[in-house]
Amino acid sequence: MQDHTFGQDSWHATTIVMVKKGGRTVIGGDGQVTVGQTIIKGNAKKVRRLSKGEVIGGFAGATADAFTLFERLETKLEQYPGQLMRACVELAKDWRTDRYLRRLEAMMLVADTQAALVLTGTGDVLEPEAGDHGSVMGIGSGGNFAMAAARALLATDLGAEAIARRALEIAAGICVYTNDNFLLESIESR
């Protein structure tokens, strides 16, 4: 029998996608929260604005862990205003070395007007690879589906928000841990 506790199963419960195209960065996510094989909630807000609206972010993983990381990122952004990359690197250092933070099970996509980044508990702070038409990144159980769809749509005339929405729709049609209750936030790039 499979164990359905709140540990690793919570990693499977979302799709978050980031699309950077035409001077705009969009982060979108679904609203489904799943524990094991049970849908607990359908309208969770996994995408939000941080740092007085200057940063957008989305998370995949355990909700309490992600909120803890968002709070820590807010603190780092206050310490290093206007320096998302530096704040994320400092958070990643803490996440990797702090005994409490090391146990957190979540990943984040964050962006401001200058940078778009993926943060993981292994100390990674990664910028998505830029292509001819823009860049994309996905996390969560449906993240690879959304990322593949978004990459295919980058070469079209669609804008960043339309691409993110369509990529989430495609992921929701494939990943059972993803629903079609989407929330998107965007920010103008520099």
Give the confidence band of 101 by pLDDT, cuts at 50, 70, 90: low
State residue 5's pLDDT score: 38
Identify which has the larger pLDDT, 89 or 65.
Answer: 89
Report which listed range, 6-20, 78-92, 122-136, is most confident: 78-92
- Residues catalogued as catalytic: 14
30's CB contacts (< 8 A; 6+ apart) are 14, 15, 46, 142, 168, 171, 172, 178, 179, 180, 181, 182
CATH of domain 8-176: 3.60.20.10
Query: Each residue of 157-177: pLDDT tens digit?
Result: 999 999 999 999 999 999 999
State residue 95's pLDDT score: 78
Listed as own residue / partner, the contacts of 64-68 with beta carbons closer than 8 Å and 24 or more positions apart are 65/104, 65/105, 65/106, 66/106, 66/108, 68/101, 68/104
pTM: 0.90
* 16 neighbors 47 (Cβ within 8 angstroms): yes
Give the confidence band of 12 by pLDDT, cuts at 50, 70, 90: low
Task: Decide if pLDDT at 28 tops 50.
Answer: yes
Dist CA 99 CA 85 (whole Å): 23
